[in-house]
Structure 1
Amino acid sequence: MSPSCCSSCLWSHIKTRLLPGRRGAMKTKKCFHLSLLVMLVCVVPPTPSTLSSSSLRDFLVSSPQDADGASSQRRRAAPLCSHGFRFHFQPQTQEISRSGEIFHAALQILKNAAKQKYNRNFTASELLSQENLELLAELSQCPTETDPAVCEGSHHDKYRSISGVCNNRQNPDWGAANTALVRWLPAEYEDGEEEPRGWDPQRLHHGSQLPLPRRVSREVVRTSCKDADAAYSQLLADWGQYIDHDVTLTPQSLSGAASWTQRDCRTSCENLHPCFPIQTQDSLCMPFQRSTPACCSRAGSGMQRQQLNAVSSFIDASLVYGHTPQLQSDLRDLSGRSGKLAVNGRFQDRQGRPYLPFVAETPSACGAAGRGRGVECFRAGEARVNEGLPLIVLHTLWLREHNRLADTLKLINQHWSPEAVFQEARKIVGALHQIITMRDYIPKVIGAESFERHIGPYGGYDPTVDSSASNVFATAAFRFGHATIPPILSRLNESFQEDRRFPHLRLQQALFSPWRIVKEGGIEPTLRGMVATAAAVAAPDSLLVEEVTESLLVLDSQQNLDLAALNLQRGRDHGLPGYNDWRGFCGLKRIATLDDLAEVVRDRRVAEKILHLYQHPDNIDVWLGGLVENFLPGSRTGPLFACLIGKQMKLLRDGDRFWWEADGMFTQQQREQLWKTSLSRIICENSDIQEIPADPFRLTRYPDGFLPCSAVPALSLEAWRDEPSLGLRLCGSPRPVDNGDFLFSSRSGKLTALYACFHGFQLEGAAEAVCEGGVWSADPPCCSETRLVARDAADPQTFLDSNQTNKT
């Protein structure tokens, strides 16, 4: 291939598949700059000496088209070239994902072009210096690290930012939404940088080919029946899925087709980025798209491909409130000026309790083809809310709880602004998520002994701890719960017997069916089933039920999928090291022989199957290895997953400046009230259920062990009563602001009203007013509508940390 053909042919692919604009027209100069990367590889030998930073910069930024000042445009949020695919994530996630895909596609084009010209494989580090890599990231509009200076100001002291930015003042992006999952061990890719294990099916790993994930699923994982857990209710499994959605969300590739061939990933059986189909033994395949890559890896992890976490890593109830300013604004009842969340305008339960609001875009997939009976998909702070009825139930409980708290807080503190009511209720709800998870859930999952070993007592906030979710936790360890998915969803009546009006459902009947909540008795039948039905227990020879390995259906797929095969393929997609490496990471004995594996699994027949498939212990996928380990005493995981889950939970706690026990978060009286509260009380407050176990995670057979709700301790909000200050009594409450609000501060020693506008509005006027001499020092500002593009929405400035310029 000639140099000119090399550049024109390869660049045409990136233009048409990743950076398409209007017919033949590039929407930004960045698209033009990226094309020069291909030219550079095609016309000069690809060695670090010739691809110097100066030569690359000359090619990339000396274009006459850059004369109007590209540096300022690189900071703006305009999309890099419009993309024609349908997205299911927040706009800022889409933009950051698009930048990551452009960045990695450009690297692939460079490597492919170099390979075609010089007839050998190259790594990206051979082709680009670190300086040139940073330049490519800039031209791809990859986000830069947040400057710690952004975190200065009193508004970062009292409440969380919605995205998690500035939780750690020195490292603002730690744990924030739309940042890379962290690595506890370096990634393992076949090419060292991005190609998953199994990408080349003929490649040998420790002398043998890797088994197909679908074969592993059918021969080791699939089971036709599950035993019942004698100790725990189904709610334990449901809370695990719910809280996982609070901590991790890995978006898939935005493109649904291979970049070079334009083949649809839903129909192609070839490994062509981003398509990584799951091969079957009959020469067919299941569709699979790779997770979207992060633009640049963190310092120290080289050129390896990393994956995004679209939500904040903290246990912060982001699945109730959202993880972006735009989503939070959409979820709130701003017009009511009540501090509440928005509720469904069409339906409510028979007692007048609210349901979640519907999604804005209708008709939705949940109501498609009449199956929704007029009920669309519900909207919440987390997009997966409609996956199953238990998720909808838990989301509904917390929506109601927030609004219940807001009503009471406003009643006892009538001088509070709507924003203060909202943020205080959000702060309480976040604390309750932390308490229920760490006190009531995690010890049951990993066992009391592992809890003490890996987590231990709380010692206060540690700013040196990075709370970011790890890749192995998100992609393997916390997916242990898939082995507790039951084939039947139980629905019970007021006597905790099967409800004849609303009978039990097969799993498939409960997926993406919010209409069953609205039309079939509300949340109570499902909620009673969650509390009073035994969880499905995992065992080495009884892992995932056939409903999820043989007949799993999702809204955007036309064929049945296999959850076990998806998990195995996702682990390889993410470059997770093997089971043995993670055992070594946790200080556990590595598996060398069949006897070693049989001892860990406690089922020699299962151990034999696994080693027969994988041939070598080092080839075993970490999700499978962790899943088949024998449970530790008093736990529902083996030693590896107990270690990985425990380590992650300790980081989520100790690195969270807003952890409920951290200094200054709550008063001693408030902490005592929070500790009294339980998920049982939340259920009592927000449903028709009148009898409940003290610990709803423990299986209790009705009526034995059930308590009347009047006997379940309740949180008293009297501990939050806040008497008006002298300054407030003298000056009175500031006037309301349309499309904005204020919070009080007294850090300067004087009562100060800090104003800010809601998302999508710009402050005009004084950003603060001080109570002096019985009057406010400034009139309230105005909030005028402003046009925001997607990347603006990802900015850390929210209502709480809004530093708009004073324009008076």
Structure 2
Amino acid sequence: MNIYLFLCLLGSFWWNVVSDRIPCGKSFVPCQPDALSANIQPRVYGVQNTQVKRSQIPEPLIRVAAHEARLEVEKVFNESGIKPLDYRHPAIVSIREYNWLHPIEQHMKDNSLSAYVSTLISRKLKQLGLKEADLLNGLSKTGLEESALGEICPRPATQTCLATSYRSFSGQCNNVQNPLWGTSLEPMQRLAIPAYADGIMSPREAKSGNSLPNARKLSLELFSNPFERHSSVTEMAAYWFHFVATDIGEVVPNQCLLKGLSVSLPCCLSGFSHPDCDQIDIPASDSFYKRVGVSCLPHSRTLPAPREDCQLGHREQANKVSSFIDASPIYGSSKETAQALRAHGSGRLQTSSYFGLYDLLPTDLNSGHYCQSDDPKKKCFASGSTDVNLLPGISAIHTLWLRQHNHLVDKLKEVNRHWSDEKLYEEARRIVIAQIQHITYTEMLPVIIGHENMKAFDVITAESDFESGYDVQIDATALNEFVTLASTLAFSWIANEAKRPFSEQFNNPNRLYEHFGLERVLQELFSDRAEKHGLKISEEFRGKFLKSKISGVGLDLIAMTLKQERDHGLPSYVSMRRHCGLSKLYTFNDLREIVSESYVADKMSNLYETVEDIDLLVGVMAEKPTKGSFVGPTLACIIGNQFYKTRRGDRFWYENFFAPSAFTAEQLAQIRRTSLARVICDLTDISEIQPHTFMTQDAYENVAIPCDSTVFPPMEMSAWIDPEAPLQLPITSETIQKVVQLAEKNRQEQRKRESQNIRRNQRSFQKGDPLFAYSSMMRAKKEAKEIAQVSEILLESTRILFRGETLPDGEEIPALDITSLQNILPNIDVSTFVANYTAFLSEDGQATADECLPKMLPCDHTSRYRTYSGWCNNLKFPHYGNAFTPLRHLTPPVYDD
């Protein structure tokens, strides 16, 4: 009994030691219900598909509507006769720069075709009296697939989501149950129900049905120049917010593709008509634009994206980048972009140099079209996102993280000299992403939304060990409300610079080419105070955005954002407040209590018909910040919901504990040492800095300290030491592929000989023969034979390598001893050379491999029951003991050969 009690206590102690590192949560042991936590749980929803029975829409009606819609859309898609905007337009330079800032590619246009058709079908059916709920739930899937829409609906390639160590560039397969959630070029989500004028696709109008106030007029009459800086928040908060916002989302306006180049739709051209034209009309009283003869600024609607299976419904906008915080501004959101930025062979990213300056961003050889540098040798830079040159502060942050990637590669190579180019690149990328996530949630968010909102929206990170809050049911797809407003909000928090107007810095890299230029720019970001949140933004963004040096005019970012939010069908400010559970507003007098300046309410009442019409951007910028927060409650609601989704819906989140993508406990502890101040110290010649760079220096908790201080120590890379260097096979993967092909040929010939021998020598079994009974009992299924055939091919490949045979093309294979082969061969991935087997574990043999052997799924640690295949029995090594994996030997095998 004493021994039994001892064993129980020992087992209990072991479990406590392990589980103490992983708190309760969605992906581990469920937490006990807590009334307080239930009340503060963020409300994340869009339009819900109610599961109710509805009458089926007749398929002939669907086919007719689809046919008509496709003809209309294809007519619009024919851009052969479109002429570019007149080069004499005073803002032509700015318009071209904006196109380069948000370029469009052919595959994006092709992807949007079905979205245009599906929304047009939806509008046609709605005009016949159907509701949107009918379009979502009353349609036959077969009817859509067999219509003109089904012919052009993109069919994503079936992809098995494997349990990989590294995330994809596009975001695909982050969620293994819904591989397209958060993927680039997929539709964004919404926090609130869309407010399209026609319920489907027309830009939002006033509650009365009239047009909303002119966007340029609102920009002129409501927005003022910055006039009051914040007492304790630095401009680093604004620039970092912009950096992270562009990592989460980017939208692209519809454009023409003429000879492969993005060209703005000539929406201001007399006689030109296009359903996506949404030009900005200039009021007659606008002296700034009228003096140069501008009465209209071209502006087009955002490119839409199709829903999964091209379902009908309201228009949704495409997110050009992945929705996760995955450092896409540095690496890109596609494999092609990432490859173009790499310095292949070393794990590093490409850099450039200029007269004694090193480790600058690589240059964009095609930047002559938009770069505003006076010196042709000082080219604009290339990075993972196209806004890298927009302002020197943005370029500086990109440069910082390019250097951090290469710095990490060098440090990883010091402790793991055997690591390959790919391994070094991916591990450094993984650490960079983790550090950006950590800085965003521990340094930026507390400043922007405050500690109380951090708690309310569950975005406080753990201080030690792992997190278990990942929820496979949470869609991390970017919120439309956040993406549409974020960049403009960030620019509104930057104070005016009298010495260097913004209009002289747009797409001008000159400051980064100065000696200590990077250091001076960064010093300004963490030293200069940010502008207080309010209904204000520099006039450099309201008429001089991307300014032409010739005409002296540019674009109006505020007017463009107002147009964009109406185009996206974003709800009004009052509707969003209501959605966030805040106090309701009925009159403009109610508005006086919640805006920073009461006179703003009077201005709004003169411009808008009712308080219900106020644009979301206008309302959230005018709103008074809450105590302890940089922004007001409505904006905190949008930001809080976005960052809740971003964290809880990311399978690769740095605090998660899922194998094989998780950091070790030791590595995670080192990542938590990260601070933006430490990164700046490591990578620049700045010698001292305050520990919290998003807050101004003070004489107490945030005094500037030397970079060699132990207050913020650097990461210890010993946590990444790989204890054993794998042996390398002295042949290429191409040779391996040829060996496998030869092995397959050898096995086919061997099976042919075996069949002939059996037919010639095997006597027929007689009924009652014990061999007949035995063979029937042990007969393998067809699928089992297929698995065995794969094994035979791999075994024959091993024999060929061991014997050192000459391949059919004459290539000599070096002789290798069996001990080396046994150590090397199991680490070679030949999955692309050998066909996968089919699943056969289900009764009818129709189950998929995913259902029978769900290797792609992260382990569900909340399940009480074991899986049928044995997958995830071991949390750290989920494949241990899995069905249809090889048996293990207790001692090395002693086969005769």
Q: TM-score range, shorter-chain basis?
A: 0.7 to 0.9
- Name the aligned partner's letter for residue 510 of structure 2: W
* Contact 1:364/1:376, CA 8 A, preserved across alignment: no
Superposed CA RMSD: 4.3
Change (3 A) 1:439 1:550: same
**Residue in 1 aligned with 2:600?**
606
Counterpart-to-counterpart distance in 2, 1:701 and 1:207:
53
Which deviations, in whole Å up to 9, do the C-alpha atoms of 1:467-487 show, x marking residues without a partner?
Answer: 000111111366432321322
- Name the aligned partner's letter for residue 184 of structure 1: L
1:192 aligns to 2:190 (yes or no): no
Change (3 A) 1:113 1:187: closer
Counterpart-to-counterpart distance in 2, 1:530 and 1:476:
22
Change (3 A) 1:58 1:401: closer
2:500 pairs with 482, 505, 509, which one? 505
Counterpart-to-counterpart distance in 1, 2:177 and 2:736:
28
* TM-score (ref. length: structure 1): 0.73
1:96 aligns to 2:99 (yes or no): no
Counterpart-to-counterpart distance in 2, 1:737 and 1:80:
47
**Residue in 1 aligned with 2:889?**
none
Return the offset for 1:349.
Answer: 4.9
Counterpart-to-counterpart distance in 1, 2:334 and 2:366:
19
**Residue in 1 aligned with 2:640?**
646
1:171-570 counterparts in 2 under 5 A? 171-198=178-205, 205-206=207-208, 209-221=211-223, 223-255=224-256, 264-267=266-269, 272-282=274-284, 284-296=295-307, 302-334=312-344, 337-344=345-352, 346-347=353-354, 349-350=356-357, 353-361=358-366, 363-366=368-371, 371-457=374-460, 459-476=468-485, 479-488=488-497, 504-519=499-514, 521-540=516-535, 543-553=536-546, 559-570=553-564
Counterpart-to-counterpart distance in 2, 1:286 and 1:255:
17
1:53-68 counterparts in 2 under 5 A? none
* Contact 1:56/1:132, CA 8 A, preserved across alignment: no
Counterpart-to-counterpart distance in 2, 1:734 and 1:81:
54
* Contact 2:65/2:121, CA 8 A, preserved across alignment: no
Change (3 A) 1:189 1:269: farther
**Residue in 1 aligned with 2:781?**
none
**Residue in 2 aligned with 1:680?**
677
- Name the aligned partner's letter for residue 239 of structure 1: W
**Structure of higher CA gyration radius:** 2
**Residue in 2 aligned with 1:40?**
none
1:166 aligns to 2:173 (yes or no): yes
* Contact 1:415/1:733, CA 8 A, preserved across alignment: no
**Residue in 2 aligned with 1:696?**
693
Which deviations, in whole Å up to 9, do the C-alpha atoms of 1:318-366 show, x marking residues without a partner?
Answer: 11111101001001111xx11111112x52654xx31111124363421
**Residue in 2 aligned with 1:669?**
666
**Residue in 1 aligned with 2:723?**
723
Counterpart-to-counterpart distance in 2, 1:113 and 1:463:
35
Which deviations, in whole Å up to 9, do the C-alpha atoms of 1:605-637 show, x marking residues without a partner?
Answer: 111211221121211111111111100112111
Counterpart-to-counterpart distance in 2, 1:770 and 1:384:
53
| Residue identity (%) | 30
1:734 pairs with 719, 729, 732, which one? 729
**Residue in 2 aligned with 1:36?**
none
Return the offset for 1:307.
Answer: 0.3
Return the offset for 1:710.
Answer: 0.1
* Contact 2:255/2:265, CA 8 A, preserved across alignment: no
SS state of the match for residue 348, structure 2? coil
Which deviations, in whole Å up to 9, do the C-alpha atoms of 1:259-288 show, x marking residues without a partner?
Answer: xxx971254698742210122321932221
Change (3 A) 1:358 1:580: same
SS state of the match for residue 231, structure 2? strand
Return the offset for 1:555.
Answer: 7.7
Change (3 A) 1:378 1:122: same
Return the offset for 1:240.
Answer: 0.9
* Contact 1:486/1:507, CA 8 A, preserved across alignment: no
Change (3 A) 1:325 1:274: same
SS state of the match for residue 594, structure 2? helix
Return the offset for 1:581.
Answer: 1.5
Counterpart-to-counterpart distance in 2, 1:680 and 1:341:
22
Counterpart-to-counterpart distance in 2, 1:652 and 1:686:
28
- Name the aligned partner's letter for residue 446 of structure 2: P
Return the offset for 1:54.
Answer: 6.8
Change (3 A) 1:642 1:400: same
Return the offset for 1:539.
Answer: 2.9
Return the offset for 1:436.
Answer: 0.5
SS state of the match for residue 524, structure 1? helix
- Structure 2's unaligned 5+ residue stretches are 1-55, 71-76, 85-95, 259-263, 286-294, 462-467, 738-790, 792-797, 799-810, 834-855, 858-897
- Name the aligned partner's letter for residue 719 of structure 1: A
Which deviations, in whole Å up to 9, do the C-alpha atoms of 1:702-750 show, x marking residues without a partner?
Answer: 998211100132111111111116xx3xxx22348589999xxxxx9xx
Counterpart-to-counterpart distance in 1, 2:819 and 2:176:
27
Counterpart-to-counterpart distance in 2, 1:207 and 1:214:
20
**Residue in 2 aligned with 1:705?**
703
* Contact 1:677/1:715, CA 8 A, preserved across alignment: yes
1:773 pairs with 822, 837, 846, which one? 822
**Residue in 1 aligned with 2:40?**
none
Return the offset for 1:398.
Answer: 0.6
- Name the aligned partner's letter for residue 232 of structure 2: A
* Contact 2:186/2:306, CA 8 A, preserved across alignment: no
Return the offset for 1:229.
Answer: 1.4
* Contact 2:119/2:314, CA 8 A, preserved across alignment: no
Counterpart-to-counterpart distance in 2, 1:207 and 1:779:
65
- Structure 1's unaligned 5+ residue stretches are 1-46, 62-78, 199-203, 490-503, 743-747, 754-763, 785-799, 802-808
SS state of the match for residue 387, structure 2? helix
- Name the aligned partner's letter for residue 365 of structure 1: Y
2:613 pairs with 612, 619, 630, which one? 619
Counterpart-to-counterpart distance in 2, 1:533 and 1:168:
41
Counterpart-to-counterpart distance in 1, 2:635 and 2:736:
45
Return the offset for 1:187.
Answer: 1.6
Change (3 A) 1:433 1:736: farther
* Contact 1:162/1:318, CA 8 A, preserved across alignment: yes
Return the offset for 1:409.
Answer: 0.3
**Residue in 2 aligned with 1:760?**
none
Change (3 A) 1:783 1:650: closer
SS state of the match for residue 637, structure 2? helix
Counterpart-to-counterpart distance in 2, 1:137 and 1:555:
43
* Contact 1:477/1:623, CA 8 A, preserved across alignment: no
Counterpart-to-counterpart distance in 2, 1:294 and 1:338:
38
Which deviations, in whole Å up to 9, do the C-alpha atoms of 1:58-84 show, x marking residues without a partner?
Answer: 9999xxxxxxxxxxxxxxxxx999999
Counterpart-to-counterpart distance in 1, 2:277 and 2:64:
34
Return the offset for 1:600.
Answer: 1.1
Which deviations, in whole Å up to 9, do the C-alpha atoms of 1:293-314 show, x marking residues without a partner?
Answer: 11337898x4211101010111
Return the offset for 1:423.
Answer: 0.8
* Contact 2:173/2:179, CA 8 A, preserved across alignment: yes
